[in-house]
Amino acid sequence: MISTIASLSRPPLRALRLIVLPFALATLVAACGQNQQQQAGPPPAGVTVAKPVQRQVTDHDEYVGRFTAVDSVEVRARVSGSLDAVHFKDGQIVKQGDLLFTIDKRPFQNALDQARATLAQARSNLIFAEADLQRGQQLVKEKTITDQTFEQRAQAARNAQAAVSGAEAALRQAELNLGFTELRAPIEGRIGDRRVSPGNLVVGGDTGNTTLLATIVSTNPIHFEFTFDEASFLRYERMAASGDHDVASRRAGVTVALKLIDEKDFMHQGRMDFVDNVIDRSTGTIRGRAVFDNPNGIFTPGMFARVSVPASPPYTALLVPDVAIGSEQARKYVLTVNKDNVAVPKYVTLGPLVGDLRVIKNGVAADDDVIVDGVARVRPGQKVAPHEAKPGASPASANVAPPTKTD
């Protein structure tokens, strides 16, 4: 009885086959569709292409240097004495002729008064000696005095004249010494801090141990000094000989550009005004100098900056967006699209960066279609769907994958 019931509960084998077969066929059809899709592959990647830009450019060399003052003066006393007063604030801008320090004038005023008195006495002696000489001229004619006595009177007159000249020189020196008690700015510029406070004794004169009171440096214009190697110097000389930029000239004229350490662009314009006459034997470099206007005083002596110097005559170059350039170890390349819409790498030699465009020395032609957008989605040898870049549109930045070698 039990076996009969079990046999009745089992479906017939033929019916089971009829049920399973449609499901198997559906699964097989779905698998075939997936295989066909996999064999067809993804659609070509859409990329933006553009032809290299032709532009007149000039190569530039960059150097690091420092600003130096055109004029720098150490303020030292010409006379010794007690420092009476300081007439400036540390670090301020001073004009030429501004009063800076005052030394106690009283000893020098006394010396001046004494020199004036000495001169008056000498002039009085001269008047007497000249009058005595005139009387002696008549007396010697009358044989009242001897010739020797007359010569003595003439000598006394000459000595009196010499004494007057000496007293006049002493007076002028006393006037100078009194004037030296007021120390004025010899140039316009920024003064440093005072080195001596009022009440201290200042040592002056022409000796080497005179007291340094302050330092003044000019600020406008200002020099920028840098060094370049011997090979660059020769290249500049060749350019000058061919009639192009005379960077190594000792005459001003070649325009250079400068940027500070917190600036991205070379926005300050100056000109070369000096190149040294010898190459440093220890470094193989030569010193160059440019001059820049500094009306706002932002350039400070001793400050670092970078200068851009023309390194070639103007020439017509091909430029591509810098984001279109990829790297394969030490080599640079761009991806181009051929007539079959296949991405082809071309290895290039790079020039300077001009804005967001990079100069290409060689490796691409003017009629090449360079991929400038969508580079990250493309591999060399891959089929692409290119479309031309719109005029004036800036390409989007993209990470460029290195090309793979293909047979």
Of the candidates 231, 320, 220, 319, which has an alpha carbon nearest to the alpha carbon of residue 279?
231
Helices (H), 188-293: 230-241
Percent of residues, the chain, with pLDDT higher than 70: 83
| β-strand pairing of 182-184 with 93-94 | unpaired
In this structure, of 65-79, 108-122, 380-394, the range with the lowest mean pLDDT score is 380-394
Check whether 297 has a pLDDT greater than 70.
yes
Mean model confidence pLDDT for the chain: 83
Q: What is the structure's pLDDT at 216?
A: 96
Q: Give the position of tokens 């930029």.
A: 245
Cis peptide before 395 (omega within 30 of 0): no
Locate the DSSP E strands across 119-236.
182-184, 189-191, 201-202, 212-217, 222-229
Of the candidates 298, 290, 288, which has an alpha carbon nearest to the alpha carbon of residue 269?
290
Q: pLDDT tens digits, residue range 25-46?
A: 555 545 555 555 455 567 888 8
C-beta separation of 369 from 49 below 8 A: yes
Q: Categorize the per-residue pLDDT at 91 as very low, low, confident or very high, splitting at 50, 70 and 90.
A: very high
CA-to-CA dists, residue 323 to 333, 346, 359, 391, angstroms: 11, 15, 12, 17
Q: pLDDT tens digits, residue range 138-154?
A: 787 877 878 888 888 88
**What's the whole-number mean pLDDT along residues 65-75?**
95
Q: Give the position of tokens 């010899």.
A: 186
Q: Domains of the chain (ranges plus CATH)?
A: 46-55+315-388 (2.40.420.20), 60-68+220-310 (2.40.30.170), 106-179 (1.10.287.470)
Q: What is the structure's pLDDT at 343?
A: 87
Check whether 259 has a pLDDT greater than 60.
yes
Q: At what angle do helices 106-141 and 147-179 cross, to 10 degrees?
A: 160
Locate the DSSP E strands across 276-394.
285-292, 304-310, 315-321, 325-328, 331-337, 343-354, 357-362, 370-373, 384-388
